[in-house]
């Protein structure tokens, strides 16, 4: 099925914004304006944007640190994200949490991520469970990876979702490496999606670098969940094109593997498709990139104008009152 | 019939000291008081729901939730898979969508299986991104029931050390109800340690309705005295009261403070009793090292040092797993005699 031009153009914008913001963060880290760790998601733009776009405005997502695109699509403004990266009061966590961790805002249907993957699967099972108990036609979507798939919680949460037939979609980003650990040390099967059969739910395998494939699979799973037909596990095959975090030179990844995945860059593929369909030319791309840089310049300026939190407030907010 | 039923040889009936029995009180066991609180909150607030293993159709391993699925249905009394970690994460997710889940750990011991959800996620959300987590985790803990190392633990100190959590440990039927109401209504994650030993062995007057609400963070002075303060919580309250009665017969005046809430500690009440008597004996069933008693002792040493007339003393379980065989468990679990011996030594100091 051919996706509508307007949807592809919108997706292209989000994918380009995601990459530009990711690169802006890397740049700010090199300038020592962002301190501590920093996580790049380059290579994940198609799947994070597609999965995010498959959701409706009232749905809820629990993205992780490679899903910058999902945060943007859900409406989290780059200014708040950059202020978060910079540790400022204007950041999503007001300086409390680092980089992409803790970027939660339920008014945007976003749950703040923790390092303990795949926490997203468990908490999203609860959100989906709430939707079912309240008979609301809403869907909850969790993101986790090939490393998180080895954790017991992934099993517990998928089993839970299936037992209660919850309106839940689980996106597994199989990006070949968990930090330095390759897939072969993570599991003795080829496809994580094969495990779905053990839970009695559909398991779908898609090319995670193909926006259209992910969007279609995610949309079908979302529709299925919304119709009360239960959860779906979607495995997106992709590649983490940078190190685990910015300090990691990923010398453990064979260069030919990276080179082969570079040929499948999700943005290049999206742009080839758009050009094929007459929706993009050089002039339009140049204009779009300039527009995005201007948006990010403004966002960065506003983020840097936001103050650092006052050390005297360190104990504030531990408890809700 | 539950497996522990025939272990309760006698039933103690508690008269609430100081509290004039209001017209609307009933005599309930500790277990019935917990059930009464759950039923009251389920009736009062449609966002309250219960989750746990075997809590619905079976009524719970100890029958605490007996009858509730019949009254409230399986949408609000949810039998779950045997998966504490998913259960606790799911409870948090439900709380994000307006529910106030009360999760039963079948035994407090099993809470370790769900540790990440509590200490990494539930405890940190509000600090990190401003999202409250109004969940209550019921943890049936402690020993004395010959239940062995994995059904007898007092692991409350794990959570007392964790910022973002509240921890309560009621010792009477009235507090069992009153603190559970407060826990469920609190916008923060609360670990509610209920003492299995007291389920059927302790009865007492329990107020009805809103009258019985017990605020979190407030200790209760169970007995006033001049020479020595015993600071304790949970089942040890009753051992301490027995010890205090014994000391009174020997002519000593002993104060007993029931902490009731372990996090946040009622610092004012702790320091007040320490300053009053100048001799402090801290008693808990949990093992000694880095237990709640260590924190209470440090608090007194920091803020009431000048008032002390003797070393702050602890009576606690030894640093071992809780053993099964009766002579071993009896050697592990502090009792009135153990407390008496330590108190005599401190009084003579």
User: What's the ipTM?
Assistant: 0.97
Is residue B8 situated within a structural domain? no
Say yes or no: B83 and B173 in one domain: yes
Which pLDDT does position A99 carry in this prediction? 95
Which pLDDT does position A185 carry in this prediction? 97
Say yes or no: B116 and B172 in one domain: yes
Q: What is the DSSP letter of A11?
A: H
Q: With a cut of 50, which residues of chain A have pLDDT below it?
A: none
Better pLDDT: B45 or A1: B45
Is residue B102 situated within a structural domain? yes
Is residue B13 situated within a structural domain? no
Say yes or no: B161 and B241 in one domain: no
Q: How many domains does chain B have?
A: 2
- Residue of A120, A239, A98, A112 lying closest to A169 (CA atoms): A120
Q: How many helices (H) and strands (E) does chain B have?
A: 12, 15
Q: What percentage of chain B has pLDDT greater than the value 70? A: 95
* Helices B336-347 and B236-249: angle between axes, nearest 10 degrees: 50
pLDDT at position B34 over 70: yes
Say yes or no: B233 and B336 in one domain: yes
Which pLDDT does position B17 carry in this prediction? 53
Is residue B298 situated within a structural domain? yes
Say yes or no: B203 and B275 in one domain: no
Is residue B4 situated within a structural domain? no
Is residue B138 situated within a structural domain? yes
Q: What is the DSSP letter of B259?
A: -
CATH code, domain carrying B240: 3.40.50.920
Residues B59-114 have pLDDT tens digits of 999 999 999 999 999 999 999 999 999 999 999 999 999 999 999 999 999 999 99
- Choosing from B178, B212, B246, the residue where a domain stops is B212
Residue in B closest to A92 by C-alpha: B129
Say yes or no: B159 and B239 in one domain: no
Which pLDDT does position B14 carry in this prediction? 75
- Residues B173-185: what's their mean pLDDT? 98
CB contact under 8 A, A160 and B81: yes
Residues near A236 by beta carbon (within 8 Å), at least 6 away in sequence = A47, A171, A172, A173, A174, A206, A207, A208, A214
Residues A236-268 have pLDDT tens digits of 999 999 999 999 999 999 999 999 999 999 999
Which pLDDT does position B6 carry in this prediction? 59
Which pLDDT does position A195 carry in this prediction? 98
CB pairs under 8 A between A and B: 133
- Choosing from B181, B212, B243, the residue where a domain stops is B212
Q: Assess contact for A96 and B128: CB atoms under 8 A.
A: yes
| Tokens (6 digits) for A289 | 């990139």
Say yes or no: B228 and B201 in one domain: no
Give A102's contacts in chain B (Cβ within 8 Å). Answer: 124, 128-129
Q: Would residue B151 show up in a list of annotated catalytic residues for this protein?
A: yes
Residues B3-20 have pLDDT tens digits of 566 555 577 777 655 555
Q: CA of A207, closest CA in chain B: separation in Å? A: 29
| Tokens (6 digits) for A247 | 């300090």
Residues of A with CB under 8 A from a CB of B: 60, 92-94, 96-97, 101-106, 111-112, 114-116, 119, 121-131, 133-134, 140, 152-153, 156-157, 159-160, 163, 317-321
Q: What is the DSSP letter of A147?
A: T
Residues A123-181 have pLDDT tens digits of 999 999 999 999 999 999 999 999 999 999 999 999 999 999 999 999 999 999 999 99
Q: What is the DSSP letter of B196?
A: G
Say yes or no: B313 and B330 in one domain: yes
CA–CA separation, B66 and B58 (whole Å): 7
Is residue B9 situated within a structural domain? no
| Tokens (6 digits) for A164 | 């209660």
Say yes or no: B196 and B85 in one domain: yes
Which pLDDT does position B24 carry in this prediction? 85
Q: CA of B218, closest CA in chain A: separation in Å? A: 16
CA–CA separation, A312 and A176 (whole Å): 43
pLDDT at position B346 over 60: yes
Which pLDDT does position B7 carry in this prediction? 57
- Choosing from B212, B238, B253, the residue where a domain stops is B212
Is residue B17 situated within a structural domain? no
Say yes or no: B68 and B201 in one domain: yes
Host domain of residue B343: 220-347
| Mean pLDDT of all residues belonging to chain B | 95
- Residues B32-55: what's their mean pLDDT? 98
Residues B245-271 have pLDDT tens digits of 999 999 999 999 999 999 999 999 999
Which pLDDT does position B12 carry in this prediction? 78
> H-type helices in B78-135, by residue range?
84-96, 115, 125-129
* Catalytic residue chosen out of the listed positions B151, B238, B284, B332: B151
Which pLDDT does position B3 carry in this prediction? 57
**Answer CATH for A5-74+111-305 from 3.40.50.1100, 3.40.50.740, 3.30.200.100, 3.40.50.970:** 3.40.50.970
């Amino acid at each position: 099925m051919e996706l509508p031009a307007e949807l592809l153009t919108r997706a292209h914008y989000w994918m380009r914004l995601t990459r530009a913001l990711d690169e802006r963060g890397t740049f700010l880290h090199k300038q020592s304006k962002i301190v501590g760790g920093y996580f790049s998601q380059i290579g994940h733009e198609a799947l994070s944007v597609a999965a995010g776009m498959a959701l409706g405005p009232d749905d809820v997502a629990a993205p992780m640190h490679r899903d910058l695109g999902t945060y943007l699509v859900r409406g989290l403004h780059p200014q708040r994200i950059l202020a978060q990266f910079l540790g400022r009061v204007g950041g999503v966590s007001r300086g409390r949490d680092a980089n992409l961790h803790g970027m939660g805002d339920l008014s945007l249907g976003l749950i703040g991520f923790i390092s303990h993957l795949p926490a997203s699967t468990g908490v999203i099972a609860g959100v989906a469970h709430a939707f079912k108990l309240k008979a609301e036609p809403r869907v909850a979507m969790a993101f986790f990876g090939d490393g998180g798939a080895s954790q017991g919680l992934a099993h517990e949460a998928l089993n839970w979702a299936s037992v209660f037939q919850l309106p839940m979609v689980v996106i597994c980003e199989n990006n070949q490496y968990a930090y330095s650990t390759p897939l072969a040390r993570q599991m003795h099967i080829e496809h994580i999606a094969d495990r779905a059969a053990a839970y009695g739910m559909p398991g779908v395998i898609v090319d995670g670098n193909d926006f259209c494939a992910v969007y279609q699979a995610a949309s079908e799973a979302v529709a299925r969940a919304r119709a009360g037909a239960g959860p779906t596990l979607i495995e997106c095959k992709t590649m983490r094109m940078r190190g685990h975090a910015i300090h990691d030179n990923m010398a453990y990844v064979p260069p030919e593997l990276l080179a082969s995945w570079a040929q499948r860059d999700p943005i290049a593929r999206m742009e080839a498709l758009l050009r094929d369909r007459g929706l993009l030319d050089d002039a339009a791309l140049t204009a779009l990139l300039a527009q995005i840089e201007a948006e990010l310049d403004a966002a960065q300026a506003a983020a840097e104008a936001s103050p650092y939190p006052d050390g005297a407030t360190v104990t504030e907010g531990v408890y809700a009152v | 019939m539950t497996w522990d039923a025939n272990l309760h040889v006698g039933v103690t009936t508690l008269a609430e000291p100081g509290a004039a029995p209001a017209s609307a009180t009933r005599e309930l066991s500790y277990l019935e008081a917990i059930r009464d609180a759950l039923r009251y909150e389920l009736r009062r607030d449609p966002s309250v729901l219960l989750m746990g293993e075997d809590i619905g159709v079976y009524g719970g391993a100890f029958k605490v939730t007996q009858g509730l699925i019949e009254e409230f249905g399986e949408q609000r009394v949810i039998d779950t898979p045997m998966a504490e970690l998913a259960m606790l994460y799911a409870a948090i997710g439900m709380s994000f969508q307006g529910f106030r889940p009360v999760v039963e750990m079948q035994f407090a011991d099993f809470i370790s299986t769900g540790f990440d959800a509590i200490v990494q996620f539930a405890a940190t959300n509000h600090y990190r991104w401003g999202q409250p987590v109004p969940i209550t985790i019921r943890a049936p803990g402690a020993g004395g029931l010959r239940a062995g190392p994995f059904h007898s633990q007092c692991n409350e100190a794990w959570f007392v050390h964790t910022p973002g959590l509240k921890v309560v440990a009621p010792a009477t039927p009235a507090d069992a109800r009153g603190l559970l109401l407060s826990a469920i209504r609190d916008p923060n994650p609360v670990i509610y340690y209920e003492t299995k030993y007291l389920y059927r062995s302790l009865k007492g007057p329990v107020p009805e309705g809103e009258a019985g609400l017990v605020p979190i963070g407030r200790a209760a002075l169970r007995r006033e005295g001049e020479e020595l303060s015993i600071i304790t919580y949970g089942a040890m309250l009753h051992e301490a009261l027995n010890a205090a009665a014994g000391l009174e017969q020997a002519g000593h005046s002993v104060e007993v403070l029931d902490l009731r809430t372990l996090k946040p500690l009622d610092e004012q009440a702790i320091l007040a009793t320490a300053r009053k008597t100048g001799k402090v004996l801290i008693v808990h069933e949990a093992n000694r090292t880095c237990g709640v008693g260590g924190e209470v002792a440090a608090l007194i040493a920091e803020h009431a040092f000048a008032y002390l007339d003797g070393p702050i003393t602890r009576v606690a379980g030894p640093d071992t797993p809780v053993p099964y065989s009766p002579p071993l468990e009896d050697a592990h679990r502090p009792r009135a005699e153990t407390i008496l011996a330590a108190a005599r030594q401190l009084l003579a100091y």
